[in-house]
Amino acid sequence: MKKATYLIGLFLGISLLTIGISSCAGGDLEAENARLAEENALLKEIAGPLPASLDQYFPPAAPAPIWLIEMFGLSGPFEGIGNDLGQGDIDGAMANFEAFKAQYTKMSTMVPEWTDKFPMEPVDALGEALESGDPSKVGPAMGGVGAVCGSCHIINQVKAFQKYHWGDFEVIEIRDPISGENLAWRDFMFAMAGAFGGITNDLAQGQTDNAIANFEAFEARFNALGGACFNCHPTERTYFVDASVKGMIAQLGEAVKAPNPDMEAIGGLAGGIGNESCMKCHLVHIPAQNTKAKWERYEDLFK
C-alpha cells in the first residue's frame, strides 16, 4: 500500500513538474516568437522597399514628384514658424502652424502604410506651446515634431532618392568607337575596363604593340563615356571625366608609346586615373544604381 501510494505520488510529482516545464517552455517560446516578429518587422522597415502606394506620387505614374512637392508644402510653414518667432511675429507663427497642421493631416492619409508615422500628439503639443507664448515650451515642442519627421526620413528618404530620382544606367546605350556598335552601359564599361587593364598586362608580357592598341581603345572609350554623362548631367563635368583626368590619360599614352616604357611611371598614372576618375565615379553612382535595381527586383532576392 505504501509502495502504491509512493508510486502515485511520484507519478503526480513528475506530471506536475512536466506541466510546469512545458508551461515555462511555452511561455519562453511565445516570448521568443514575439521578439523575432518585432525584429523581423524592424528589419523589413529598414531594409525593405518603400510602400507600393507611394509610386502613384512619382513619375511615371504621376506627371511630377507630387509627394516631394507636398513635402515642401509641409516643411515651408514649419520653418516659417521658427522664422516668425525669431521676428516676434506671433500671429504669423500661429498662421504657419495652422497651415502646417492642415498639410500634415492631409499627408497622413496619402500613403496608408505610413499613417502611423504621422502622430498628432506632437503637433497638438506644438500648438499648445505656441498658444502659451512660453519660449521655453515652444523649442522642445518644435523639436518633438522635428523628431517625427527625422525618424521617417532616416529610414525612407534615401530609398526615395534612389528609386524615384536617380536615373537608370540600364537604359543608357553608348556607341562603341572601336566596334561601332551601340552597347549597353554595363557592356561598354566592361569593354573600357578590359582595355585599361590590358595596357599594363601587355607591357608586363613585353607586348608593346598590344599595349598601345589597348591604350588607344581605352582613350577612345573614355572620351565616349564623357559624352554619355550628358544623359543625366546637362552641363560639362568638372570632375571624373574632366580635363585633369584627360591630361593624365594623355601622359599615360606618351609613357606607353615611349621607346622604353617606364613601368613605374605608367603604374602611377594608371593608379591616378583609377583613383581620381573610375573609383570616385563608382563610389557615387554604383551604390544608388545597385540599390535601385534591388528595389525593382526585391522579391526575386528571396527566391
In whole angstroms, how far apart are CA 175 and each of 181, 222, 227, 243?
Answer: 6, 12, 10, 22
Residue 116 confidence (pLDDT): 94
CA 180, distance to chain mean position in Å, is: 35
Strand 182-184 relative to strand 173-175: parallel, antiparallel, unpaired? antiparallel
Residue 42 confidence (pLDDT): 80
Residue 287 confidence (pLDDT): 87
Residue 196 confidence (pLDDT): 96
Domain boundaries, the chain: 64-165, 172-298
End-to-end CA separation in angstroms for the chain: 65
Torsion from C-alpha of 295, 299, 302, 303, nearest 10 degrees: -140
| Overall CATH class of domain 172-298 | mainly alpha
Torsion from C-alpha of 88, 90, 95, 99, nearest 10 degrees: 70
Element (H, E) at 175: strand 173-175
- How far apart CA 27 and CA 52 sit, in angstroms, is 37
CA 57, distance to chain mean position in Å, is: 19
Strand partners, 184: 173
* Conformation bin of residue 296: beta by default, left when phi > 0, alpha when psi is -120 to 50: alpha
Torsion from C-alpha of 9, 14, 15, 16, nearest 10 degrees: 90
Peptide bond into 177 cis (omega under 30): no
Residue 17 confidence (pLDDT): 53
- How far apart CA 98 and CA 110 sit, in angstroms, is 19
- How far apart CA 149 and CA 12 sit, in angstroms, is 59
Residue 20 confidence (pLDDT): 54
- How far apart CA 266 and CA 272 sit, in angstroms, is 10
Helices and strands per DSSP (H, E), number in the chain:
10, 2
CB burial readout 74-84, b (16+ within 10 A) else e: beebbebbeeb
pTM above 0.75, yes or no: no
Q: Are 177 and 224 in contact (CB under 8 A)?
A: yes
- How far apart CA 228 and CA 103 sit, in angstroms, is 41
Profile the chain (303 residues) by mean pLDDT over runs of 10 residues: 50 53 66 85 82 95 96 96 94 97 98 96 97 92 96 92 85 94 94 96 96 96 89 83 94 96 95 94 89 71 53
